[in-house]
């Protein structure tokens, strides 16, 4: 029998949301390019500049000039973490989409670990932090957040807020993301879970933030996130607004 034709290698889109990440974004993009080239010839690296006020836009434009695989999306003003992620997912064109943050607390090269876990029975590979390399107060707040939202939303992944994920782009034929704040990650995981998509998990390293400061860890942002979580809980858990009507009725019985 003649040999069956070889399958075309799966394509990979890697993207970063970036806000005032001029100290880290160039090395992140180069690392992502090297990782993508080692995995598949069909790849692209996208950076969503979310209204940065430092040198990030100029650095990104120069990277796009040097590397043809690099594409830049510029937001004229800051749309929030969720707004940046939504732009990234909308811009990605390949079969699989990977994203992580542009602040270098994760190593883009470890996308290879997630890539190895892909298979016909996996739609999303979710990273989880081996150990969190943050100040003590951030670790405490992060753990409280993680355990609270897992219970509220009925999630079973080890690390809800590990922004190191590889997924099939076709997921977004079924789910629609709407949030502009950081709760978009919670929205993503809840909708993927309720959509019946299959999730695998892989441990990844988490590193100390060497440049810039977190947009999240101040009292006002934490309070606003708490309110956003409650609104999302009411929308997705109580109202089940993301489910088709038949499923909503079945879930309430």
Residue 7 lies in a domain: no
| pLDDT of amino acid 196 | 96
Average pLDDT over residues 41-57: 98
Segment holding 46, helix H or strand E: strand 43-50
Residue 122 lies in a domain: yes
Residue 3 lies in a domain: no
Residue 2 lies in a domain: no
Q: What proportion of the chain, given as a percentage, has pLDDT over 70?
A: 90
| pLDDT of amino acid 11 | 98
Strand 70-75 to 43-50 pairing: parallel
Q: What proportion of the chain, given as a percentage, has pLDDT over 90?
A: 80
Q: What are phi and psi of 232, to 5 degrees?
A: -65, -40
| pLDDT of amino acid 1 | 45
Residue 244 lies in a domain: yes
> The tokens of 14 are what?
């890697």
- Domain hosting residue 187, numbered range: 12-252
Segment holding 34, helix H or strand E: helix 25-39
Identify the CA nearest to 36 among candidates 91, 96, 89. 96
| pLDDT of amino acid 106 | 97
| Confidence class for position 142, pLDDT limits 50, 70, 90 | confident
In contact, 47 and 70? CB cutoff 8 Å: yes
| pLDDT of amino acid 9 | 76
- Reported as a single tens digit per residue, the pLDDT across 79-100 is 999 999 999 999 999 999 999 9
Residue 47 lies in a domain: yes
Identify the CA nearest to 12 among candidates 54, 51, 40. 40
Residue 207 lies in a domain: yes
Q: Is the pLDDT of residue 249 over 60?
A: no
Q: How many domains does the chain have?
A: 1
Q: Is the pLDDT of residue 121 over 90?
A: yes
Average pLDDT over residues 165-192: 97
The pLDDT mean for the chain works out to 92
| pLDDT of amino acid 8 | 67
| pLDDT of amino acid 246 | 47
Average pLDDT over residues 134-155: 91
Q: Residue 188 and residue 160: Cα distance in Å, rounded? A: 10
CATH number at residue 189: 3.90.550.10
| pLDDT of amino acid 136 | 84
- Reported as a single tens digit per residue, the pLDDT across 96-119 is 999 999 999 999 999 999 999 999
Residue 182 lies in a domain: yes
| pLDDT of amino acid 210 | 75
User: Which residue is it, tokens 């990030």?
Assistant: 56
Q: Is the pLDDT of residue 197 over 80?
A: yes
In contact, 8 and 40? CB cutoff 8 Å: no
| Confidence class for position 248, pLDDT limits 50, 70, 90 | low
Q: Is the pLDDT of residue 25 over 80?
A: yes
| pLDDT of amino acid 175 | 96
- Reported as a single tens digit per residue, the pLDDT across 202-237 is 999 999 887 655 555 567 888 888 999 999 999 999
């Amino acid at each position: 029998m003649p040999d069956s034709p070889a399958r075309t290698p799966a394509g990979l889109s890697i993207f970063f949301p970036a806000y005032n990440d001029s100290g880290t974004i160039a090395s992140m993009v180069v690392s992502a390019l090297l990782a993508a080239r080692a995995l598949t010839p069909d790849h692209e690296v996208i950076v969503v500049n979310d209204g940065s006020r430092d040198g990030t836009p100029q650095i990104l434009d120069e990277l796009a000039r040097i590397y043809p695989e690099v594409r830049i999306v510029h937001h004229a003003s800051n749309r929030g973490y969720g707004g940046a992620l939504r732009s990234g997912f909308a811009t990605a064109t390949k079969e699989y989409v990977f994203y992580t943050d542009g602040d270098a607390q994760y190593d883009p090269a470890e996308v290879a670990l997630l890539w190895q876990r892909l298979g016909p029975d996996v739609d999303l590979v979710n990273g989880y932090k081996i150990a969190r390399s943050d100040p003590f107060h951030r670790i405490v707040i992060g753990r409280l957040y993680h355990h609270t939202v897992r219970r509220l939303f009925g999630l079973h992944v080890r690390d809800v807020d590990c922004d190191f994920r590889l997924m099939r782009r076709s997921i977004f034929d079924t789910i629609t993301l709407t949030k502009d704040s950081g709760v978009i990650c919670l929205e993503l995981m809840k909708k993927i879970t309720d959509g019946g998509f299959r999730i695998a998990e892989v441990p990844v390293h988490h590193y100390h933030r060497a440049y810039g400061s977190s947009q999240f860890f101040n009292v006002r942002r934490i309070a606003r996130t708490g309110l956003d979580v409650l609104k999302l809980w009411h929308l997705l858990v109580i109202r089940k607004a993301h489910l088709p009507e038949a499923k909503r009725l079945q879930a309430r019985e």
